[in-house]
Every structure is written in C-alpha cells, then in structure tokens.
C-alpha cells in the first residue's frame, strides 16, 4: 500500500511517511490505530486528534518531491518508487531489534532461512517502533499532539483494563519494558536488562518504571490501589529531592528556590500528592487546588530546561479523569505519563526493596 501511494503521487521514493500513512488506513492491521487510541492526549477529543493526524500526514506527503519528468519518461510507467534510505535504515534497525529480542528471534530465524537473499521480512510492531525513531515521522506525530515515546509504550505495553487495577494476576501483567533497546548501544541514560541489579519484586518494578518515566523527561501520574505506597517508596529511596506541595501547604518561595537549585543537584520532584485533594467538591478548596496547579505550572515553565519534575497519584482512574477534566491543558503542558500500579507491595519497609548501591546509578538522568 505504501508503494502504491508513492507511485500514485508520482513521488521519487517510498518513504516512512508513506508506510505510516498506509498503516493508518482501515484496511491495514489495527496495530498502529489501537496504539494511537491509547496514546492520544486527553486534552483533545479522539476524533479531532486523529483527524488532525491524517491532515498532518497528507500535508507532509504533499511536500515530498516528485519524480523528475525525464526519469519518469525513461522508466516504465508502472515502475515502483525505490525505498528511501531512511525507510531502509528503519527496516535494518527493526531486524537488529528482532535478533536481540528473545520473543521474536525464532520468527526472524525462520524468515531469514525461508526467504530469498533479497527479500526482507520483519515483524510489523518492530518495524513501526523503528520508524517512530525517524525525526520526520516523529515531527508529524508531534504536530498532531502525539508523542512517539507514548506510541511506543502503547505498542509494547498495552495498559490493562482499568476496572482490573489492583486485581490483575501477577502472571498476566505485561513484561518489564526497557526503553534503552530503542537507542544506540552506547546510550546509557536508561539501565538495560543486562544490568541485573534489580531482582524483579513488586516494589522494585514500580521503582524502575517511575525512574524510566522521569528519564524520558515525562511526569508520572500513578493510578491504582498501590499508587500511594509506590510513590512513597520512590520518594524514600530516589536520589532526587522530593518536595511535597498541597492545598494546605505551598510555600512559593521554598518551591522557587528548590527549583532554581535543581540543576546543580540530582534534581527536584514536586509531589502534588493525592489528586483527589486537588478536585474537591467544596468551592473554597477548589480555589486552593487551582492555586497549587497554577504555581506548579509556573515553576515547570520557568525551569523547563532544568531537572524539575512533578509526580502525583490516585487510587482510582475516575479521580485521574476528573483531574484532567478540571485541568484539561495539564496533560500536554505538564507532559504527563499515566502509570498504572497494578500490584501492592506486600509489607516490608521501602529501604528493604531497592539495593542502595544501585539507586543513583540506575536512574541518573540527562538534562531535559
């Protein structure tokens, strides 16, 4: 379908834009469309954002250069546009990821032995993940309000059904996700599975997942019956300063000073606590909640290039949706990342969960 689209538009090459555009059409497998439905921003209506994405891709395709008239005349009328270098590079990256991934290595080995030497066969999800690293494709998604990182997570780690939060059996939870596999081998911003420093318990897994969100420059919002304890464990053991703010206590001077010093330290996490405290029914308390949100927004905008993050939690998905409905722009302005906490730590102190020697090294983060 991508080649057909490129030939119909008389383009000189078949690019990643053609392939993604073809995958967005209903006849294509639903992998990408389903991922976009989960990764979309809550600040926009679903139909509006998806329509905007279609328009963005249509405009980008219209801007691609057409084949020259001389080359068109010299070649056959039905000649297929050659694959662009960027798309071929994405195919090679997806093949490399398949070889490294135990879950798809058998698939790759069978394809490599059964296909002719000139043939290329890769798993669709691996190919889409590789294409999302293309800056041109990422920019088009960004124009429509999508983040490539969110789409990758939606493809590899679909969120569990929300009514099952806290009751999902352990064996059915999705496997841990290490985003470092998307980058070059020498990129050490996020720990790799080979580090082996985390033993895989519930508290350790939650600690790692929160750290991965922070390492990508996003701000985690924990949702689930174990969200409060997971946030407390992370605050107790993380190498960052965690500054609680709330409707009952917010010191603008202290908050501003802590944010200003964050770049010279390991970093600052502004903890807004339980989201239900920011969306009360009482009118006076609602005004206090708006004041907290406005102050945190001001600090994040002022120190956007620094090492400042915000974190909150909610026991229920309904409270999180209420929070977004009262503050619809925060999902984008704060760059929020929903993080379901589907299991509760079974006793024990937070200090017993994570080896102290690995804490700072495992979650050292790049400047945003």
Q: How confident is the model at residue 17 (pLDDT cuts 50, 70, 90)?
A: very high
Most confident by average pLDDT, 187-191, 205-209, 224-228? 224-228
Least confident of 128-132, 133-137, 147-151, 304-308: 304-308
Starting at the earlier edge strand, list the strands of the sheet with 268-274.
241-244, 268-274, 308-314, 219-223, 336-340
Specify the pLDDT at position 34.
Answer: 87
CATH (one of 3.40.50.300, 1.10.1780.10, 1.10.3760.10, 3.30.2270.10) for 2-143: 1.10.1780.10
Give yes or no for a contact between 3 and 81, defined as CB atoms under 8 angstroms apart: yes
% of the chain surpassing 70 pLDDT: 66
Beta-bridge mates of residue 337: 220
Q: Which of 42, 38, 36 is nearest to 56 (CA)?
A: 36
Mean pLDDT of all residues in 130-154: 89
pLDDT digits (tens, 9 = 90+) for 93-123: 888 877 765 454 444 455 444 444 444 567 8
Residue ranges per domain, the chain? Answer: 2-143, 163-362
Positive/negative CA dihedral, 347, 348, 351, 353: negative
Model confidence at 184: pLDDT above 60: no
Interaxial angle between packed helices 148-156 and 31-39, expressed in degrees from 0 to 180 and rounded to the nearest 10: 120
Burial class (CB in 10 A: 0-12, 13-18, 19+), 63: exposed
Model confidence at 250: pLDDT above 70: no
Q: How many CA atoms lie within 13 A of 192 on its CB side?
A: 12
Q: Phi-psi bin for 102: left (phi > 0), alpha (psi -120 to 50), beta?
A: alpha
Average pLDDT, the chain: 72
**Backbone phi and psi for residue 252, each to the nearest 5 degrees, phi listed first:** -60, -40
Selected residue with higher pLDDT from 259 and 312: 312
Q: What is the DSSP string of 124-141?
A: HHHHHHHHTT-HHHHHHH
- Specify the CATH architecture of the domain 163-362: 3-Layer(aba) Sandwich (3.40)
Domains 2-143 and 163-362 are alike in CATH topology: no
**Separation of alpha carbons 364 and 214, rounded Å:** 10
Specify the pLDDT at position 165.
Answer: 38
Specify the pLDDT at position 30.
Answer: 86
């Amino acid at each position: 379908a991508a080649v057909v689209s490129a030939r119909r538009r008389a383009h000189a090459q078949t690019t990643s834009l053609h392939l993604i555009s073809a995958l967005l059409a209903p006849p294509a497998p639903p992998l990408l469309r389903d991922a976009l439905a989960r990764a979309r921003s809550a600040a926009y209506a679903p139909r509006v954002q998806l329509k905007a994405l279609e328009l963005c891709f249509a405009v980008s395709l219209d801007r691609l250069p057409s084949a020259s008239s001389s080359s068109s005349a010299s070649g056959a009328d039905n000649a297929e546009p050659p694959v662009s270098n960027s798309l071929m590079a994405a195919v090679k990256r997806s093949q490399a990821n398949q070889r490294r991934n135990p879950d798809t290595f058998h698939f790759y080995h069978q394809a490599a032995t059964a296909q002719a030497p000139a043939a290329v066969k890769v798993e669709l999800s691996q190919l889409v993940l590789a294409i999302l690293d293309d800056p041109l494709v990422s920019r088009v998604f960004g124009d429509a309000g999508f983040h490539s990182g969110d789409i990758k997570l939606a493809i590899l780690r679909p969120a569990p059904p929300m009514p099952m939060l806290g009751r999902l059996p352990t064996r059915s939870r999705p496997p841990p996700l290490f985003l470092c596999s998307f980058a070059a081998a020498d990129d050490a911003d996020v720990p790799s599975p080979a580090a082996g420093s985390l033993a895989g318990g519930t508290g350790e897994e939650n600690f790692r997942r929160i750290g991965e969100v922070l390492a990508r420059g996003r701000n985690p919002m924990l949702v689930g019956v174990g969200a409060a304890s997971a946030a407390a464990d992370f605050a107790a053991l993380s190498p960052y300063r965690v500054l609680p703010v709330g409707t009952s206590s917010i010191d603008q001077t202290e908050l501003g000073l802590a944010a200003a010093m964050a770049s010279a330290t390991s970093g600052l996490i502004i903890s807004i606590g339980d989201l239900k405290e920011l969306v009360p029914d009482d009118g006076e308390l609602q005004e206090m909640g708006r004041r907290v949100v406005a102050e945190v927004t001001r600090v994040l905008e002022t120190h956007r290039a620094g090492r400042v993050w915000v974190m909150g939690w909610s026991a229920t998905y309904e409270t999180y949706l209420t929070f977004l409905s009262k503050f619809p722009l925060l999902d984008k302005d704060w760059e929020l990342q929903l993080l379901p906490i589907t299991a509760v730590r079974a006793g024990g102190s937070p200090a017993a969960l994570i080896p102290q020697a690995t804490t700072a090294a495992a979650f050292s983060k790049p400047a945003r």
